[in-house]
Copies of this chain bind each other. A is one copy, B any other.
Amino acid sequence: MAGRPRDPDLEQRLLATAWSLLTSNGYDALTLTQVAAQSRAHRTDVYRRWRSKVRLVADVLDAYLPPVPDPDTGTLHGDLRAFAEDLAGAWNEPWNDGLVGFLADLRGDAEAERTFRALVVRRSQPLVDAIARAVRRGEIAEVPELPFVGNLLEGPLMHRRMFGGEPMTPEELDVVTWSVHRLLTGTSVKP
- A residues near B (Cβ < 8 Å) are 27-28, 97-98, 100-101, 103-105, 107-108, 117, 120, 145, 147-148, 150-152, 154-160, 162-165, 172, 175-176, 178-180, 182-183, 185, 187-191
Q: Is the interface of A mostly helix, strand, loop or mixed?
A: helix
Decide: A107 near B97, CB < 8 A? Known: A176-B152, A182-B188: yes
B152 and A164 within 8 A (CB)? no
* CB neighbours of A182 from chain B (8 A): 179, 182, 188
The quantity of this chain's copies bound in the complex is 2
Pair B159/A159 contact, Cβ less than 8 Å: yes
Nearest-CB residue, chain B, relative to A26: B107
Q: A104-B101, A155-B158, A156-B152 known; A175 and B183 CB under 8 Å? A: yes
- Chain B hits for A100, CB < 8 A: 100, 103-104, 107
Evaluate contact between A160 and B151: CB separation under 8 angstroms: yes
**A152 to B, closest residue via Cβ:** B156
Which 6 A/B pairs are nearest by Cβ-Cβ distance? Answer: A155-B159, A155-B155, A155-B156, A101-B104, A100-B104, A151-B156
